[in-house]
Structure 1
Amino acid sequence: MSENLEETRPWLRVEKDDCPVSTPQQAWIESSMKWFAGEFGTEPLLGGIVLPGPNLVSGYSGTKRQIGRLIAGVCSVMSVKPSDLIVEFFDLRELKDEQARRGRLAVGHYYVEDGRPVIGLDISEASDPHYLTAIIAHELGHVRLLGEGRITAARKDHERLTDLLTVYFGFGIFSTNAALRFGESARGFSVQPLGYLDERTLNAARNEGYSRLGYLTEAEFGYAMSCYAWLRGETDPDWAGHLDPGPRAHLRQGLRYLSRCAREGELPTTRTDGVPVTINMLPGSPVPGLHIPFPVFTRSTWPPGEGKR
């Protein structure tokens, strides 16, 4: 009876404070965040969260020069030298039939040519700088993980790990919001693919007009953003308002859970190969001023509350 009331009268819902993802998902997210800290240091976490806004869209029309500036900005945050990259553009509208026959549709791709990383971007998505930023961040995540030999493509979760890395480097708002996307069509709405999503997966994911895109679920993105905020000492982050309602609700629930179960600057105990591990972020230095077309929030001290005791 009470569940029915909650469904019809959402204002009666009790705010949950349990973890918004399953135990295996939670362990994977937390242990991966710990691994990122070991691989990349805490600077990406502390350097600032990248925000969408008027600075990004003002005067933007999707020219190649503007896309180049966008790529340079994402490279700056993710510590990739733009000069080391080869960037190629393609139009998915022209390749759609061929790609569909091969069972794959992609708005971005990554590979290595003559020792240099190559990222490909679909220019048919160039008009949306927020969505394009998410694609660029994901492809540069491949550069940092695969291109630098930190993991191999044989690792089954490498695409999911790449999505999660965009959160760690401050692009979580873009990646999270881009994970669910609609485009108008003659029948109302059609789903636009993000990342390497084949048609079979795309069609299987359909549910009442919605389809989940990308590699992390909405709840996983939400909890990942909770962990990101918690490790930055943000229990009620102002930037949460930039998230779409669904993942924002998971973020809030995740923060309530962490407030109840984790110590400041730490994540709850996870398990790696059966051995309990406590994730504790060590002191680090924020990234110096970033000359990029994004506004950012930064922290100046770590751990949060340092010097107040």
Structure 2
Amino acid sequence: MNDEPEQQPPWVPEVRTDCPVEVPQQAWIEASMAWFAREFGREPVMRATVVPSSELRSTAVTPTPRQIEGLVSGLCELMEVDRAELTLELFDRAGEDPAAARKERRTVGHYYVENGRPVIGLDVTEASDVCYLTAVIAHELCHVRLLGEERITADRKDHERLTDLLTVYFGLGVFTANAALRFGETKRGFSVQPLGYLDERTLNATRNDGYSRLGYLTEREFGYAMACYAWLRRDTEPDWARSLDPGLRVLLRQGLAYLSRNAAPGEFPTPRSGSVRLSVRVVPKADPVWLGGLCLMFTGTEWPPNAPKHRPR
């Protein structure tokens, strides 16, 4: 009988147990997810996670306006948005000069209010990638839940980032997380670069000759957000992880390993210090981030944005 401990195969990467993001981003993600639970209840996070089918991943056929309407209606039902109160605009950039379009950041979705009705717009030239289109729709519908329901205001510098994070809470994070990368064409093929933070003028997507994806959160932030989502569900081995891109799966596993070592099931590390409930206040560069009575200094970074507090209940 062999009593030697079983060794992990050399081709299986060791899972890191440190947090995938820095402390300010971690505090923001965890505090925001906890706020979502208070605002929307725990029911959205406990639903079945939405994942793309193999047919959806492989399709290259542009859906018809009627099919897009069906997709929007289905997502409205999932996200508890009244479709009858929502105006859908489809716009087409097919006539643009391709060379000029490659040099500019393009709006692929928008949200505004007209005569008291929320309006979301979708670029149908991007509709052939249905997973991508789903991510755009999810983002715009989260605007309806946050801005349209006056839970936050557009004055918040992090309101677009918070909107992307809400897609995770409502079970659509597989789509928006996978869409959060830009694949830029290089001489050797394709390189992968995180998009990082984009402002409202550039909206949430750019496209180029290679492959560009939308997103206000970085890949690491999405990875840890997905780990927090799974942790709230008390699901440390989620089946839906196989639908994430490989890099995101690694970050998800790392985030779950970190949480399992540092938090009780269904809770987060930063909001608590022993039995004392802490509040999180995000402040500008080189100023302290207060976690209750604990002051942490973060210098040399412009993150996080100077966002107002969440709306008090």
Structures share a fold, TM > 0.5? yes
Q: Matches of 2:83 and 2:206 in 1, distance apart?
A: 32
Q: Which runs of 4+ in 1 moved over 2 A?
A: 10-15, 54-61, 92-97, 181-191, 193-199, 209-213, 273-277
Structure 2 residue matching 1:234: 3-state secondary structure: coil
Residues 44-67 of structure 1: CA distance to partner in whole angstroms, max 9, x if unpaired? Answer: 101221111047579864101110
Q: How many angstroms does 1:212 deviate by? A: 6.9
Q: Matches of 2:117 and 2:33 in 1, distance apart?
A: 27
Could you tell me which residue of structure 2 aligns to residue 115 of structure 1?
116
Size of the alignment, in residue pairs? 263
Could you tell me which residue of structure 2 aligns to residue 154 of structure 1?
155
1:45 paired to 2:49: no
Q: Matches of 1:128 and 1:62 in 2, distance apart?
A: 9
Q: 1:247 to 1:57 in 2, by over 3 A?
A: closer
Q: How many angstroms does 1:185 deviate by? A: 11
Could you tell me which residue of structure 2 aligns to residue 89 of structure 1?
90
Could you tell me which residue of structure 1 aligns to residue 256 of structure 2?
255
Q: How many angstroms does 1:180 deviate by? A: 1.6
Structure 1 residue matching 2:94: 3-state secondary structure: helix
Q: 2:280 aligns with which of 267, 272, 290?
A: 272
Residues 209-246 of structure 1: CA distance to partner in whole angstroms, max 9, x if unpaired? Answer: 88774110000000000000011010011110000011
Q: 1:186 to 1:69 in 2, by over 3 A?
A: farther
Cα contact 2:109–2:123 (8 A) shared by 1: yes
Q: 1:174 to 1:202 in 2, by over 3 A?
A: closer
Aligned residue type for 2:172: F
Question: Structure 1: which 5+ runs fail to align?
Answer: 1-9, 278-309
Return 212-221 or 12-21, whichever deviates more: 12-21
Structure 2 residue matching 1:38: 3-state secondary structure: helix
Q: 1:187 to 1:81 in 2, by over 3 A?
A: farther
Structure 1 residue matching 2:268: 3-state secondary structure: strand
Aligned residue type for 1:198: T
Q: How many angstroms does 1:93 deviate by? A: 3.5
Could you tell me which residue of structure 2 aligns to residue 135 of structure 1?
136
Structure 2 residue matching 1:253: 3-state secondary structure: helix
Q: Matches of 2:212 and 2:58 in 1, distance apart?
A: 30
Q: How many angstroms does 1:144 deviate by? A: 0.5
Q: How many angstroms does 1:92 deviate by? A: 2.9
Cα contact 2:183–2:213 (8 A) shared by 1: no
- Within-5 A mapping of 1:25-104: 25-54=25-54, 56=56, 61-94=62-95, 104=105
Structure 1 residue matching 2:112: 3-state secondary structure: strand
Task: Tell me the TM-score normalised to structure 2 length.
Answer: 0.73
Identity of aligned residues (%): 61
Q: How many angstroms does 1:183 deviate by? A: 8.2
Residues 176-199 of structure 1: CA distance to partner in whole angstroms, max 9, x if unpaired? Answer: 0111244889996699x9995739
Q: Matches of 2:67 and 2:266 in 1, distance apart?
A: 38
Structure 2 residue matching 1:83: 3-state secondary structure: helix
Could you tell me which residue of structure 1 aligns to residue 238 of structure 2?
237
Structure richer in helix, relative to its length? 1
Q: 1:176 to 1:96 in 2, by over 3 A?
A: farther
Q: Matches of 2:48 and 2:156 in 1, distance apart?
A: 29
Q: Matches of 2:252 and 2:229 in 1, distance apart?
A: 10
Aligned residue type for 1:128: D
Q: How many angstroms does 1:15 deviate by? A: 2.3
Q: Matches of 1:212 and 1:108 in 2, distance apart?
A: 13
Q: Matches of 1:186 and 1:94 in 2, distance apart?
A: 29
Q: 1:64 to 1:246 in 2, by over 3 A?
A: same
Cα contact 1:92–1:124 (8 A) shared by 2: yes
1:145 paired to 2:146: yes
Q: How many angstroms does 1:267 deviate by? A: 1.2
Q: 2:202 aligns with which of 180, 184, 198?
A: 198
Aligned residue type for 1:272: V
Could you tell me which residue of structure 2 aligns to residue 18 of structure 1?
18
Could you tell me which residue of structure 2 aligns to residue 294 of structure 1?
none
Could you tell me which residue of structure 1 aligns to residue 171 of structure 2?
170
Q: How many angstroms does 1:265 deviate by? A: 1.3
Q: 1:20 to 1:241 in 2, by over 3 A?
A: same
Q: Matches of 1:53 and 1:153 in 2, distance apart?
A: 34
Cα contact 1:96–1:105 (8 A) shared by 2: no
